[in-house]
Amino acid sequence: MKVRYLKRIHLIILLLLIFPIILGQKKAPGIIGSNIPRKLEYSNYITVKYKRDASYEKGFNYYNFEYRKEISYIIYENKNYNQSQSLSISSGKSIDIHFSYPIKSLEKFFDGFDVEKNNNCIMSIDFSHFDSSKLENVAYMLFFCNNLESIDFTNFTTTNIKNMSHMFSATYALKSIDVSSFNTSLVEDMQNMFGSCNSLESLDLSNFDTSSVKDMKSMFRQCTNLKSLDLSNFDTSSVKIMSEMFY
């Protein structure tokens, strides 16, 4: 009886030692620079691929990210970094920007990536793992991402967005943008939304609900390569400003 009793105690002790280790693997994001099993991650992140080398010696905080408290950490080469850590990214490599909860705004979000010597470094952006369910403002979100060639908007929810002003403005390298899944029923501002997208060759806006839009100023300004545009479904009953819409 004593032997069996001791065996049970040993088994309980062993289980107590093993379970914290197993559970601890799921808390890897709290350890800076640790290897992270991505399949265990909370799926709320944006993937950014770089066209050329980029360096953030003073961390992302220094580059217009001081107000980005929503970012929990950044993964690069299977290691995670906080916003204050220096980070150098090689050409052709990607980073995953993780968020701990759904955020309401991506206004001017990518300003912090294309600054100083890192100007024009972004090649592609993947939103397919980003939780956009609470998003209300995407104004200037991709403004002046000059070398941006592709965007994946799979699972990107726009139901609550009210401001799309300058959303794609000056993304010179984009030849096509798939916005077929966009719900724009609440959007009030589309000013300069596609302005200076001068490589854009096609744009399908047949699903756009513009019934709430008040501002369309310069919406398609300098889209010099756009060959055709069907706006027959556009409801402009609420629009107050349309100046230079196709200038």
Q: Give residue-wise pLDDT tens across range 31-62.
A: 344 444 444 456 899 999 999 888 888 776 65
**Does residue 162 belong to any structural domain of this protein?**
no
For residue range 96-151, what is the model confidence (pLDDT) as tens digits?
Answer: 999 989 999 999 888 766 555 556 789 999 999 999 999 999 999 999 898 999 99
How many domains is the chain built from? Answer: 1
pTM of the shown model:
0.81
**Does residue 25 belong to any structural domain of this protein?**
yes
**Does residue 100 belong to any structural domain of this protein?**
yes
Asked if residue 149 lies in contact with residue 75, where contact means CB atoms within 8 angstroms, the answer is no
For residue range 162-184, what is the model confidence (pLDDT) as tens digits?
Answer: 999 999 999 999 999 999 999 99
**Does residue 237 belong to any structural domain of this protein?**
no
**Does residue 10 belong to any structural domain of this protein?**
yes
For residue range 25-36, what is the model confidence (pLDDT) as tens digits?
Answer: 443 333 344 444
**Does residue 225 belong to any structural domain of this protein?**
no
Domain that holds residue 133: 2-152
**Does residue 6 belong to any structural domain of this protein?**
yes
**Does residue 134 belong to any structural domain of this protein?**
yes
